Amino acid sequence: MFLDIRVTVCIFLCLSSQIMQAARCPTDELSLTNCAVINEKETQFEQHVTVRNLTHKYVFTLKKHPSVNSGAIAFSLPQRKWAGLSIGQEVEVTHYKFDRSKQCISTLTMEIDFLQKKSVDSNPYDSDQMAREFIQQFNNQAFSAGQQLVFSFCDKLFSLLIKDIEAMDPSILKGEGTPGKKPKIEIGLLLANSQVIFEKSETSSLTLVGKAKTRESRQSIISPDWNFEKMGIGGLDREFSDIFRRAFASRVFPPDIVEQMGCKHVKGILLYGPPGCGKTLMARQIGKMLKAREPKIVNGPEILNKYVGESEANIRKLFADAEDEQKRLGPNSGLHIIIFDEIDAICKQRGSMAGSTGVHDTVVNQLLSKIDGVEQLNNILVIGMTNRPDLIDEALLRPGRLEVKMEIGLPDEKGRIQILHIHTAKMRQHNLLASDVDVKELAVDTKNYSGAELEGLVRAAQSTAMNRHIKASNTVEVNIETAERLQVSRLDFMASLANDIKPAFGTNQEDYASYIMNGIIRWGDPVSVINFVKDICFHRFSSSGPPNSGKTALAAKIAEDSQFPFIKICSPDKMIGHSEIAKCQAIKKIFEDAYKSQLSCVVVDDIERLLDYVPIGPRFSNLVLQALLVLLKKPPPKGRKLLIIGTTSRKDVLQEMEMLDAFSTTIHIPNISRGEQLMEALELLGSFQDIERASIAKAVKGKNLWIGIKKLLMLIEMSVQMDPGYRVSKFLSLLKDEGA
């Protein structure tokens, strides 16, 4: 009895395992079935078998055909390549049974490409229809990770490589509960309800459409672990949000949805604004924020070359990679980012450079043709940066080119807090920032500071703190004993604010302080106009009056008391020797700088002198007049407030030139006209003693006077140089000589 059982087991093993010879698949039709083929008389094997060569086992689905010799097992060329089999090689073939509770395929992911390069075309292939046909052709077949096979679809042959197999959750197979996590398996059985996903090969030019294509294309192109603080960006949250909405929202959506909407990706962004506000930093970090290749960064002047045609060739080289990839991969091409720093250097208005070789014009033409030419590239994002957007050719700024124009302006208080936090983070981390340093207080005190200036402020405070620990000896040495207690304190920041770092778009106190060296002498009610305009936020008014009446000093004092973060005085003494065009450009720049600040004050001093007015003729510069009229009437950008103060001694002249209409209010600053006003001014100045003032009051009592406060200060200064006994007589004599 024991012998019979042993013989039965031996016979069963012989039947279930057999040595067979590998052969070539007899027909092309059988090669496309993805099955190993045996003779129809081989009845010892069921549907699936394991084929063992010298080192590995491979699972195949069987098919029977009379043209295969008995004792042979036929494989297609892709199968032989995958399993490492040669024709005539002996292999061990064993029956294989699937465990349907663990080995049914939930998701099958495959890499697809054209089988032959000569059959390459640019037609789109519907991946959903492809998946349905794949399941019909290969239903109930065995598939292994890494397996290669050939798939026929729409009369085209495709090469497939199995990349990933996920098993079905047993609860789904039994119709119970909700699905859990899908385990990865090496060998699986394809069912009618399995999901098939096609991923295009990296080097393939195949165009896939539909939902069953590459899962990676449906994932966000935004890197999941990015944040502003780690990138060193502060105060640009709104700008980043706007750029994302315009430039990247369409790239996050699945390509098939974008295609159905007929939506085109934004190809260009122009970042402009004052220097040091983060344009270059933002452009550089956009590349890191995206899961794209490293951006190409090029400075505008680097494009230009002295040899004919080389400048245009440099532009073509920048786009060559994107062009080549789009030809190969079509809509599935990755994003190429090209960043132009100082783009105004190469993209000036065409025809604006008289007498030039025309290189700039041809460079602009080449750039336009690459971004939005006849052969359009849809896989590029061009980012241009400039401080002078007015210089750039208009054709480059229309939709389809650099269509997203984003101003990177001076940071507000919230932005300054973020920037200061970024630049003091390491000091806080290593306990090198004193507890008395309040970042919010610094943010309040640094109005109109750019990001670069805030970084410079932190560096200046650090150097001030380190300087305290340097020994004053013959050699420069660090005091090691005290250096261990190094901390940057509030006083270091305050000292740097006062002495080291001044904002480029701030107030030049030395500039307007020189106009009010002697302060404001409130000799009567007319001078109280300063209280009238002290709290004005958006207004235009001019102060007119006779020469030396203190108009400029009053205007400078109003500007100072306004506490605006940006104050600029447009004065004729800064434009001596300027041509008319140069003067217009200088005035225009002052107003453009003012528009960059939230609150600005511009004092246009001595307007008739700016206009080169002389009464003989009369003569004046019409070019400067028209420029001033345009700038005075132009409202500031939305959200910005501008206070304009003009001064003139010839109100009648400005009236004839129709310039007074550009101002909202005209305030007359008169001269001192009565003795009481003169005595009040002398008392406030304190230059004369009580007895001397009494003598002067007696002399001017009941007299009509006409003298400007500036002239009065000069007469007093001349008089006080005399001996005490002659000061009053000298002062009265000078008053008389002046016709007062």
CATH number at residue 612: 3.40.50.300
* DSSP sequence for 343-411: GGGT-BPTT-STTS-SHHHHHHHHHHHHHHSSS--SSEEEEEEES-GGGB-GGGGSTTSS-EEEE----
DSSP state of 306: S
For the CA atoms of 500, 503, 507, 510, the dihedral, rounded to the nearest 10 degrees, stands at 30
* Claim to verify: residue 432 and residue 403 sit in the same structural domain: no
Question: Do 558 and 439 reside in the same domain of the chain?
Answer: no
Q: Of 76, 95, 114, which residue constitutes the final position of a domain?
A: 95
Mean of the pLDDT values across residues 720-737? 84
At residue 212, the 3 state secondary structure works out as coil
Please check whether residues 79 and 182 belong to one and the same domain.
no
CA 658 → CA 10, 64, 246, 651, 662, distances in Å?
118, 102, 44, 10, 8
Catalytic residue numbers, as ranges: 551-552, 605-606, 633, 710
CATH number at residue 51: 2.40.40.20
Q: Which regions of 115-211 does DSSP assign to beta strands (E)?
A: 124-126, 142-144, 148-153, 156-167, 187-189, 195-200, 207-209
Q: Give Rg (Cα) of the chain.
A: 42
In a domain, 215, yes or no: no
Based on the domain organization, do 186 and 61 belong to the same domain? no
Mean of the per-residue pLDDT values of the chain: 81
* Tens of pLDDT, residues 425-464: 889 888 889 999 999 999 998 988 988 899 999 999 999 8
Segments in 294-358 forming alpha helices (H): 300-303, 310-329
**Angle at which helices 490-499 and 451-467 pack, to 10 degrees?**
120
Give percent above pLDDT 70 in the chain. Answer: 84
Contact 502, 562 (CB under 8 A): no
Q: How many whole angstroms separate alpha carbon 462 and alpha carbon 450?
A: 19
Locate 703 and state its tokens: 């007299």
Model pTM greater than 0.85? no
Residue 408 and residue 596 in contact, taking contact as beta carbons nearer than 8 Å: no
Query: Quick check: 424 pLDDT over 50?
Result: yes
**DSSP 3-state assignment of 720?**
coil
SS3 275: coil
With cut-offs at 50, 70 and 90, classify the pLDDT of residue 591. very high
How would you write 476-539 as a 3-class SS string? CEECHHHHCCCCECHHHHHHHHHHCCCCCCCECHHHHHHHHCCCCCCCCHHHHHHHHHCCCCCE
Asked whether residue 656 carries a pLDDT value surpassing 70, the answer given is: yes
Within this chain, do residues 245 and 285 fall inside the same structural domain, yes or no?
Answer: yes
- Alpha carbon distance 465, 470 (integer Å): 10
What percentage of the chain's residues is helix, strand, coil (to nearest 5)?
A: 40, 20, 35
List strands edge to edge, sheet with 566-570. Answer: 566-570, 599-604, 641-648, 539-544, 665-668
Q: Which residues face 543 on adjacent strands? A: 647, 667
Residue 643: helix, strand or coil by DSSP?
A: strand
**CA distances, 24 to each of 29, 45, 70, 369, 571 (Å):** 13, 20, 13, 54, 95
Helix (H, G, I), strand (E, B) or coil at 645: strand
Tell me: do 519 and 652 sit in the same domain.
Answer: yes
Q: Which residue has the higher pLDDT, 320 or 118?
A: 320
Contact (CB, 8 A) for 338 and 283: no
| CA 103 – CA 169 distance, rounded (Å) | 10
Give me the amino acid identity at 516: I
Identify whether 141 is part of a domain.
Answer: yes
CB atoms within 10 A of CB 229: 11
Q: Is residue 9 part of a domain?
A: no
Alpha-carbon gap, residue 381 to 335, rounded angstroms = 7
Do residues 336 and 268 both lie within one domain?
Answer: yes
* Confidence (pLDDT) at 535: 47
pLDDT at 406: 87
What CATH number corresponds to the domain at position 483? Answer: 1.10.8.60
| Token duo for residue 342 | 């100082």
Alpha-carbon span 124 to 126, nearest angstrom: 7
Residue 300 is predicted with a pLDDT of 73
The lowest-confidence range among 254-263, 378-387, 480-489 is 254-263
CA atoms within 13 A on the CB side of 408: 30
Per-residue tokens: 341: 């720093």
In-domain check, residue 222: no
Task: Among 49, 65, 95, identify where a domain stops.
Answer: 95
- Model pLDDT for residues 225-266, shown as the tens digit of each residue: 556 666 667 778 788 778 878 877 777 776 667 777 777 888
338 is a domain residue:
yes
The answer as to whether 432 is a domain residue is yes
- Alpha-carbon gap, residue 632 to 626, rounded angstroms: 10
Most confident of 256-260, 330-334, 655-659: 655-659
User: Is residue 203 located within the same domain as residue 274?
Assistant: no
pLDDT digits (tens, 9 = 90+) for 573-590: 889 889 999 999 999 999
* Domain assignment present for 315: yes
Query: Model confidence at 351, in pLDDT bands (50, 70, 90)?
Result: confident
Q: Give the model's confidence band at 624: pLDDT under 50 very low, under 70 low, under 90 confident, else very high.
A: very high
Question: Is residue 88 classed exposed, middle or buried when 0-12, 13-18 and 19+ CB atoms within 10 A define those classes?
Answer: exposed
100 assigned to some structural domain: no
Domain count, the chain: 6
Cα gap 2→6, rounded to integer Å:
6
Q: Round to whole Å and give the CA distance between 240 and 222.
A: 13
For residues 380 and 290, membership in a common domain is answered with yes
- DSSP summary character for residue 280: H
* CA atoms of 545 and 650, how far apart (whole Å): 7
What would the pLDDT profile of 402-417 be if each residue is shown by its tens digit? 888 888 888 888 889 9
Among 73, 95, 117, where does a domain finish?
Answer: 95
Residue 597's domain spans which residues? 509-526+533-668
- 425 and 516 fall within a common domain: no
- Contact predicate 603/642, CB 8 Å: no
Cis link prior to 274 (omega < 30° from 0)? no
Residue bearing the bigger pLDDT, 62 or 281:
62
352: nearest Cα among 395, 304, 293, 416: 395
On whether both 186 and 233 belong to a single domain, the answer is: no
Amino acid occupying residue 602: V
Residue 154 has pLDDT above 60, yes or no: yes
487 and 390 housed in the same domain: no
Q: Are 37 and 65 in contact (CB under 8 A)?
A: yes
